[in-house]
Amino acid sequence: MPSFRAAYLIHGDDHGRISERRARLRAMAEDAAGTAGVEVYEADACTPDAIAGALSTMTFAMGRRFVIADGVERWKEGDVDAVAAALKSADPELLTVAFFAREEARAKAPAKLHKAVEAVGGQIAEEATVKPWELPKWLVKQAAQLELELDPEAAKALIAQAGDRQQRLLRELEKLALEHGPHTHVGVEEVQEACASSAERKVWTLTDALVAGDRRTATRVLLELRTQGERLPAMTYTIARKLREALAIAEGLAAGQSQAQVKKSLRMSPRQASKLVADVERRDPEAFRRALAALADFELESRGGVGGRGGLGEETAALRTVLTATR
């Protein structure tokens, strides 16, 4: 059974996080004392007199009592005296009170309440929203607590994908931690793969199939993307970057580098690095040079470059490029 302090004060302007902490504390309290052992005062019922009365009430209940006071940001400094006196005289072995303050503008937990909680050895925690320009640095620190090494650029990519709500960002970090495991470097690619839309995921699948020379999968995914209204010219940058990376790996292996040496140079999870190296190893460097040349020709043609498509439509030209890249 967890140990509880005599008092807690959870305050700040991150209202979502405060609600999460209240729900978790209430669940722990009900698990320890049952629903009958937990008294909740919120909204208009959360008055200083009501809380002082609850703290001073003598009961014959066995075990610890819990009092939850949600809304103390509306209290004034002069309202706290009676609560502080009742808290000081309460038995810390039999009673726990948790104060919650959802702060904004001038509505804040009174300074006297801070001092009253501190006086009984209680715990005070601030849940504050992070300024937008501080979010990447904050994400890197949060990732470190989950034993992940989050690249600063990956942190920016995660914000771009998931938005700037801290709770949503924390959930995405937790998903990354579960997927990749502890002590793993997480870069932009891992973030994009984890948070990508359906179309984005298909682009990654197409790219992986092109690297592996998997013609059947590459063709199927290309047609699925076309059905969704996606166009290959919009994907060429992503595909070209991956093919160039694959070419560098293939050239390294051909020059005598070991798989371990190649994997160490890749900024991705060990699982992804192993798969990429294994896919590249099945082909020779010339295959990737040919694939990059075909992609460059297609990009030039799609922008109205010299040569045209010889009467081919964009969809047929895109299919021709995929077939050439996977040869």
The owner of tokens 């059974």 is: 1
| 3-class secondary-structure state, position 153 | helix
Write down the pLDDT at residue 219: 92
* Side-chain half-sphere exposure of 87, counting CA atoms within 13 A: 32
Write down the pLDDT at residue 303: 67
Write down the pLDDT at residue 181: 86
Of the candidates 72, 68, 60, 62, the residue with the CA atom closest to the CA atom of residue 29: 68
Of the candidates 124, 110, 87, 70, the residue with the CA atom closest to the CA atom of residue 6: 87
Write down the pLDDT at residue 244: 92
What is the residue type of 312? L
Q: List domains and CATH numbers for the chain.
A: 7-126 (3.40.50.300), 132-195 (1.10.8.60), 198-325 (1.20.272.10)
Contact 169, 159 (CB under 8 A): yes
Contact 52, 83 (CB under 8 A): yes
CA 136/CA 138 separation, integer angstroms: 5
| Total-model pTM | 0.49
Contact 22, 12 (CB under 8 A): no
Average pLDDT of adjacent 10-residue blocks, the chain of 327 residues: 86 89 93 91 94 84 87 94 94 94 91 96 90 89 90 87 80 87 86 68 86 92 80 81 92 91 80 88 93 88 58 77 91
Write down the pLDDT at residue 213: 93
Write down the pLDDT at residue 308: 47
Write down the pLDDT at residue 165: 79
Of the candidates 199, 130, 124, the residue with the CA atom closest to the CA atom of residue 166: 130
